[in-house]
Structure 1
Amino acid sequence: MMNEKVIYPSSSVEGYERDIVNSTHAGFGVRLVAYLVDGIVIGSLKGIILNPLAKLSDWDLSAYYLAPIFSIANITTALIYFLYFIMMTWFFRATLGKMLMGLKVVSTSGRHLTFLQVFTREWPGRYISGFLGNLLYLVVLFNPAKQGIHDMLSDTVVIHERQERLRDRLTAPVMKQNSSF
């Protein structure tokens, strides 16, 4: 008959373990680089999608409704921007910029991201964070959990994927088999 005993990491590792758990959250610098990469991707998508579509359908991209902010170009660019962030985060938990930097978006509860969380984070959350020339993204610098406003609204956090795997290995119980006859 075999008995399984759960052995947790030794107490001499606790300080290091605590540092790993706290360092999984991605800071402002790495998130800024990911966002800049995403900006390049979105600009490329806009050029690939919008310009040929405008030529095929004879759209005047500068035409607007009520105010210049409601031009065809601005509306379609906003759709491409928000759909890119929503779809990439929903399907991959990361945009191309985050993937390049080894980051991903996770729920603070530890559960899988819900579509409502993703939608809240990527549409109204990004819209609010974009006020004042994107200055509200600086909240990440001053928040102890390294969350932006869009993260706080949706109960999410951006983490380093490699450090998360290391943290999971350190905090997971190690199974040891003892046999007794």
Structure 2
Amino acid sequence: MQNNCNRPDVAYAGFWVRLAAYCIDSVIVFAGLLVVRLFLSGITAVVEGTAFGGNVLFHYTLKDIILYVFHVLYFILCTYLTGTTLGKRAMNLRVVSADWGQRLSLLDVVYRETVGRFLCSLSIGIGYIIVGFDGEKRGIHDMLCDTRVIYAKKIKVFPVYQMPKGYPGPQGYGAAPGQMPPMGGPTPAPGSPVPGNPVPGQMPPTAGPKPAQEETKNNLPEDK
């Protein structure tokens, strides 16, 4: 289940990274729905015994419908307004239209996050599993709405150059592992004098050694 990009400048997101993003979104939605449940607990107590207290749509109660609407609104609003969700943003993913450069339409996003996800969840989630085998990493909801999930930003990877085997290491060169030794010969040990530089406390050397002065005899006449 690796990315198989037909375009060199686009990297499609595979199955596992999309599953990780969905798990993050599920945790966020679950935490948000806890607040909604506390709010609905007061409403259900008021409508109990009325027409809204039982099943409203098939076997779904009013509470179930409201919770589903808030659940879907998170994915619809985030995808339509920003092209991503908090979970996808954490995994560096983005939902785009197959028509490159075109913004996602609200109708496509609503259809993708409602009918499309419902069809994907049928038959043990086969609509999601085919993401790992499709050439453009599409699920059924992507095929229906003509969307793609791609990596938002490409991460540049710089190669690390290693020293070839048998190349002299830091001994005698003063170079750290993986670095080229300095040019011009071995690096002197710390504290040792460098040729051409004076030692602290000594006079700098002159241009050359002075020739020894020969002793000259006194040319004065000897006393007789």
TM-score, length basis structure 2: 0.58
Per-residue deviation, 1:119:
1.5
Return the letter of the residue paired with 1:122.
E
Q: Which runs of 5+ in 1 are unaligned?
A: 1-17, 166-181
The equivalent of 1:148 in structure 2 is: 139
User: Alpha carbons of 1:60 and 1:139: their partners in 2 closer, same or farther (altered >3 Å)?
Assistant: farther
| Counterpart residue identity of residue 141, structure 1 | G
CA RMSD of aligned residues (A): 2.8
Decide whether aligned partners of structure 1 residues 164 and 68 sit closer, same or farther in structure 2, where only a CA change above 3 A counts. Answer: farther
SS in structure 1 of the partner of residue 148 of structure 2: strand
Alignment of 1:166-177 (within 5 A): none
User: Which of residues 85, 88, 91 is equivalent to 1:101?
Assistant: 91
Equivalent in 86, 89, 98 of residue 76 of structure 2? 86
Aligned mates of 2:30, 2:134 — CA distance in 1: 30
Q: What is aligned with 2:20?
A: 33
* Structure-2 change in CA distance of 1:80 and 1:35 (3 Å): same
What is the deviation of 1:67? Answer: 8.0
Q: What residue number does 1:163 align with?
A: 154
Asked if structure 2 preserves the Cα contact closer than 8 Å seen for 1:50 and 1:76, the reply is no
RCO comparison, higher one (Cα < 8 Å, 6+): 1
Matched-pair identity in %: 31
How many residues matched? 148
User: Which is helix-richer, 1 or 2?
Assistant: 1
Cα contact 2:94–2:152 (8 A) shared by 1: yes
* 1:124, distance to aligned residue in structure 2 (A): 1.0
Query: Is the CA contact 2:127–2:141 (under 8 Å) kept in the aligned structure 1?
Result: no
Which structure 2 segments of 5+ residues have no match? 157-224
For the Cα contact (< 8 Å) 1:105–1:156, is it kept in 2?
A: yes
**2: CA distance between counterparts of 1:139 and 1:20?**
20
Shift in Å, 1:26: 0.3
Higher Rg of the two aligned structures: 2
- Shift of the 33–78 alpha-carbon distance from structure 1 to 2, 3 Å rule, reads same
User: 1:129·1:150 contact (CA, 8 Å) conserved in 2?
Assistant: yes
Q: Is the 8 A contact 2:40 2:63 kept in 1?
A: no
TM-score of the superposed pair, with normalisation by structure 1: 0.71
CA 1:130–1:105 in 2, change beyond 3 Å: closer, same or farther?
A: same
Contact 2:120-2:127 within 8 A present in 1 as well: yes
1:53-92 alpha-carbon deviations (Å, 9 max, x no partner): 323562589x541788402332222112211111110111
Moved over 3 A (4+): 66-69
